[in-house]
């Protein structure tokens, strides 16, 4: 019986009780993380801090994160708690604990849950410094006022034609095993989460700092494949890239930051096609996609926002 | 229409209150925030933070209804 629960607490986190919820005879691994208030941040001496929360949304968001990660990593149990109100140095601000059959998924899940709580939970931290000043801090502990992203970042004047997301991989790691057949869904709007990717996609929170959180694909490449292989009706979903765009030269953006519909991205590398494309599209498709950067562009998501088709 | 607007963190501090009733002509949270930002100089751009309506995250072009509870959520900083 799995035990998955997120709680928001105004008193000291009861670590012993949460840990007891992780007991499971099938669990070979339990990983816990205890996030504490430290006495310094960004070169300043911190004397205390305070967390403000939006309780209804924080609880539903925390619970959803635990359930999604438990399902994805096959956990036996997952528990987490976040404090609200004033905290002293050394107190536990957040606690995450997971149980799984083996250590790999347990370590990965605990890390991912913790990262997601930092970025997605509607909770805000106010630090009071040794000199008496206080300030709301943003994610990554930068000042919420000056840590604003996006200044001076070029804007893509591109069109978003289609959005594709899938719950699981079809090809990755499937060498000689045959493709899987996870469905792929076309949607009109998708939520981007900084450091995580596209909500509900297989690469959402896949691993820390993953360079392929999202993939862009040029609509002209889709058309070129249709023409080359005489398949005028071929769906752009076959390539299993996320965002079908027009009006931007993807090859120019490797290693650069940009904004698209207000969301900030950092392009990492060309999304190289693999031999599965020959099976999914037609023999020769892999070679054809390797040319002219047709394979698409991989990127990290740097800020939160929503992308819309036609937006 | 009249809605309840809730401010959190930095935005609550800049507005000087946590919640207020606002009568407005906006159709979406983006338009409503533009009105509030003009009036109270809240200073964040909608591309940099999120909004919830009736305890659920929504996009900035979500359609508002009379009596909605709109929460303005500056960049989060849990953990």
> What was the pLDDT predicted at A145?
46
For A112-126, A158-172, A281-295, B12-26, which range has the lowest pLDDT when averaged over its residues? A158-172
Residue A287: pLDDT over 50: yes
List the CATH code of the domain at B2-73: 3.10.20.30
Q: Are residues A311 and A188 in contact, defined by beta-carbon separation less than 8 angstroms?
A: no
What are the tens digits of pLDDT across the range A201-214? Answer: 999 988 888 999 99
A52 and B CB contact within 8 Å: yes
Mean pLDDT in residue range A148-175: 75
Mean residue pLDDT of chain B comes to 94
d(C-alpha A212, C-alpha A240), whole Å: 12
Query: Does the beta-carbon distance from A60 to B55 stay under 8 Å?
Result: yes
Mean pLDDT in residue range A76-96: 96
Residue A1: pLDDT over 50: no
User: How many interchain CB pairs under 8 A, A with B?
Assistant: 100
- Confidence grade of residue A187 (pLDDT, cut at 50, 70, 90): very high
Give contacts of B69 with chain A, Cβ < 8 Å: none
Tokens of B12: 């609550």
> What was the pLDDT predicted at A132?
84
> What was the pLDDT predicted at A178?
63
> What was the pLDDT predicted at A148?
40
**Contact residues of B toward A, CB < 8 A:** 6, 8-10, 12-13, 43-50, 52, 55-57, 59-61, 71, 73-79
Residue with tokens 């494309």: A277
**Residue A251 phi, psi dihedral angles, 5° rounding:** -60, -25
Residue of higher predicted confidence among A225 and A180: A225
What are the tens digits of pLDDT across the range B21-55? Answer: 999 999 999 999 999 999 999 999 898 889 999 99
Query: Does the beta-carbon distance from B74 to A136 stay under 8 Å?
Result: yes
User: Beta partners for B22?
Assistant: B3
Residue of higher predicted confidence among A136 and A76: A76
Mean pLDDT in residue range A150-161: 81
d(C-alpha B76, C-alpha B74), whole Å: 6
What are the tens digits of pLDDT across the range B57-69? Answer: 999 999 999 999 9
Q: Report the candidate in A137, A192, A138, A134 with the shortest Cα–Cα distance to residue A163.
A: A192
- Confidence grade of residue A151 (pLDDT, cut at 50, 70, 90): low
- Confidence grade of residue A277 (pLDDT, cut at 50, 70, 90): confident
- Confidence grade of residue A295 (pLDDT, cut at 50, 70, 90): very high
Residue A143: pLDDT over 70: no
Q: Where exactly are the structural domains of chain B?
A: 2-73
Query: Does the beta-carbon distance from A144 to B56 stay under 8 Å?
Result: no
> What was the pLDDT predicted at A176?
62
What are the tens digits of pLDDT across the range A225-276? Answer: 999 999 999 999 989 999 999 999 999 999 888 999 989 999 999 999 988 8
Mean residue pLDDT of chain A comes to 89
* Partner residue facing A114 (CB), from B50, B77, B79: B79
Query: Does the beta-carbon distance from B77 to A189 stay under 8 Å?
Result: no
d(C-alpha A63, C-alpha A281), whole Å: 40
d(C-alpha A307, C-alpha B5), whole Å: 24
For A90-94, A135-139, A238-242, B10-14, which range has the lowest pLDDT when averaged over its residues? A135-139
% of chain A residues with pLDDT over 70: 91
> What was the pLDDT predicted at B79?
85
Residue with tokens 């993380």: A33
* Partner residue facing B52 (CB), from A57, A150, A263: A57
Indicate which of A13, A34, A54, A187 best probes the interface with B, i.e. most B CBs within 10 Å of its own CB: A54
> What was the pLDDT predicted at A244?
97
Q: Report the candidate in A108, A119, A34, A109 with the shortest Cα–Cα distance to residue A77.
A: A109
- Confidence grade of residue A149 (pLDDT, cut at 50, 70, 90): very low
A20 and B CB contact within 8 Å: no
> What was the pLDDT predicted at A150?
43
What are the tens digits of pLDDT across the range A14-66? Answer: 999 999 999 999 999 999 999 999 988 877 889 889 999 999 999 999 999 99
Beta strand ranges found along chain A (DSSP E): 3-9, 29-36, 40-41, 44-53, 77-83, 85-88, 92-100, 123-129, 134-137, 159-166, 184-187, 189-193, 197-198, 214-218, 243-246, 257-260, 263-270, 297-301, 305-308
* Partner residue facing A306 (CB), from B9, B13, B59: B59
* Partner residue facing A124 (CB), from B8, B60, B61: B8
Q: How far apart are the first and last CA of chain B?
A: 37
Name the closest residue on chain B to residue A82, using Cα atoms: B79
Residue A2: pLDDT over 70: no
The CA-atom distances, in angstroms, between A154 and each of A151, A306, A311, B47 are 9, 18, 17, 14
A191 and B CB contact within 8 Å: yes
Indicate which of B13, B63, B76 best probes the interface with A, i.e. most A CBs within 10 Å of its own CB: B76
A286 and B CB contact within 8 Å: no
Query: Does the beta-carbon distance from A57 to B55 stay under 8 Å?
Result: yes
């Amino acid at each position: 019986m799995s035990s998955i629960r997120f709680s928001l607490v105004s008193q000291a986190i009861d670590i012993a009780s949460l840990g007891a919820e992780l007991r499971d005879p099938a669990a070979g691994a339990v990983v816990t993380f205890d996030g504490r208030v430290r006495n310094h941040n960004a070169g300043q001496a911190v004397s205390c801090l305070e967390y403000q929360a939006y309780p209804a949304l924080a609880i539903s968001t925390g619970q959803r994160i635990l359930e999604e990660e438990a399902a994805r990593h096959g956990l036996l149990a997952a528990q987490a708690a976040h404090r609200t109100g004033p905290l002293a140095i050394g107190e536990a601000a957040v606690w995450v604990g997971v149980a799984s059959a083996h250590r790999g998924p347990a370590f990965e899940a605990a890390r991912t849950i913790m990262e997601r709580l930092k970025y997605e939970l509607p909770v805000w931290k106010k630090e009071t410094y040794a000199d008496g000043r206080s300030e709301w801090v943003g994610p990554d502990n930068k000042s919420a006022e000056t840590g604003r992203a996006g200044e001076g970042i070029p804007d893509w004047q591109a069109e978003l034609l289609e959005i594709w997301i899938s719950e699981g991989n079809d090809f990755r790691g499937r060498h000689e095993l045959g493709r899987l057949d996870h469905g792929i869904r076309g949607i009109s709007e998708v939520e981007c989460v900084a450091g995580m990717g596209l909500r509900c996609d297989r690469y959402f929170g896949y691993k820390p700092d993953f360079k392929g959180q999202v993939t862009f694909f040029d609509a002209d490449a889709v058309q070129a494949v249709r023409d080359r292989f005489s398949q005028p009706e071929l769906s752009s979903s076959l390539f299993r890239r996320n965002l079908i765009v027009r009006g931007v030269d993807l090859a120019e953006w490797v290693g650069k930051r940009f904004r698209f519909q207000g969301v900030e991205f950092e392009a990492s590398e060309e999304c190289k096609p693999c031999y599965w494309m020959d099976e999914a599209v037609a023999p020769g498709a892999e070679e054809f996609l390797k040319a002219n950067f047709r394979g698409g562009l991989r990127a990290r998501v740097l800020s939160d926002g929503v992308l819309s088709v036609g937006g | 229409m009249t809605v309840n607007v809730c401010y959190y963190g930095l935005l609550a501090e800049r507005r000087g209150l946590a919640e207020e009733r606002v009568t407005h002509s906006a159709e979406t949270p983006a338009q409503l925030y533009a009105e509030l930002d003009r009036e109270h100089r809240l200073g964040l751009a909608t591309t940099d933070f999120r909004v919830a309506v009736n305890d659920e995250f929504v996009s900035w072009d979500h359609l508002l209804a009379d009596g909605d509870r709109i929460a303005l959520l500056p960049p989060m900083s849990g953990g």
